[in-house]
Amino acid sequence: MPNLHTRIRKLLALSASSNEHEAALAARTAARMMDEHRLTLADFPAFNVADFASPVIGWQAKLATIVGTRLGVVTVAGRVNWHYAGYAVDTSGALQLYTQLCPRIQAMADAAWTAHEQELTDPVLGRYPSLDEPGARDTWIASFAMGCVSRVYAALDEDRSTLARSTALARIRFTVAEEVQQYAEQRFGPLQKHVVAHSTETLLLPGAMKQGGRAWGS
């Protein structure tokens, strides 16, 4: 039986693979083996908490929450650190995705601001006055980044819908929300007290957000 449990654990881990074919095959095999031996996910307690530094910018907070939701983990906002709570394969996947996306979005937003500055700078008349208004750069970059985040949300939602079409994957990946919620509350107490911080941006620019969405989707 220990060898059987080990094999199923490995298959469950593979079911989180970014390779859709590999993930689907692993999930189906794990589901079949569990059915044959009358096992359930409760027989494979593999809960875990992944910590990361609290987001300091509104779009980062939104990205962290979106990634957690779409990967089936609970996102808990703390004062110093935030936490992804859930099955180990999911928390590690959420943390990896979040830490990959953050610098990528930031780099795109910084580059887009540089291009925006160039567009609004005339060789004769100089820079457009609005570029030097207090907070102009930060607000524009935050808006562009939020546009990117909205596209990430849509892309992850499409991936989730694709995976859910597999019965085996649906059973293993998307029917454990209640168990994950219970685990998170055991670790951190009632989740209602962990309120996600509001965005520090008081204004988002629609034009910059659209640019961010288009840039991410291209």
- What share of the chain in percent tops pLDDT 90? 27
Helices and strands (DSSP H and E) totals, the chain: 8, 5
pLDDT of residue 193: 53
Instruction: Point out the residues of the chain with pLDDT beneath 50.
Output: 162-170, 174-175, 195-201
pLDDT of residue 14: 74
Q: What's the distance, Cα to Cα, between the start and end of the chain in Å?
A: 49
Q: Contact 145/212 with Cβ under 8 angstroms?
A: yes
Rounded CA-CA distance 204/144 in Å is 9
Q: Other CB atoms closer than 10 Å to residue 97's CB: what's the count?
A: 19
Residues whose CB is less than 8 angstroms from the CB of residue 178 and which lie 6 or more positions away in sequence, other chains included: none
DSSP element (H, E) containing 86: strand 81-87
pTM higher than 0.75, yes or no? Answer: no
Cα separation values, 57 from 93, 152, 211, Å: 22, 17, 19
pLDDT of residue 107: 96
Per-residue pLDDT reduced to its tens digit, 5-33: 778 877 876 776 667 778 778 888 888 88
Q: Other CB atoms closer than 10 Å to residue 22's CB: what's the count?
A: 12
Q: Contact 92/13 with Cβ under 8 angstroms?
A: no
Task: Read off the DSSP letter of residue 191.
Answer: G
pLDDT of residue 101: 93
Q: Contact 150/214 with Cβ under 8 angstroms?
A: no
Alpha helices in the chain (DSSP H): 2-14, 20-36, 58-70, 88-119, 136-164, 167-173, 177-188, 206-217
pLDDT of residue 156: 79
Rounded CA-CA distance 26/172 in Å is 10
Token pair of 218 as six digits: 């291209």
Q: Contact 152/66 with Cβ under 8 angstroms?
A: yes
pLDDT of residue 2: 55
pLDDT of residue 128: 82
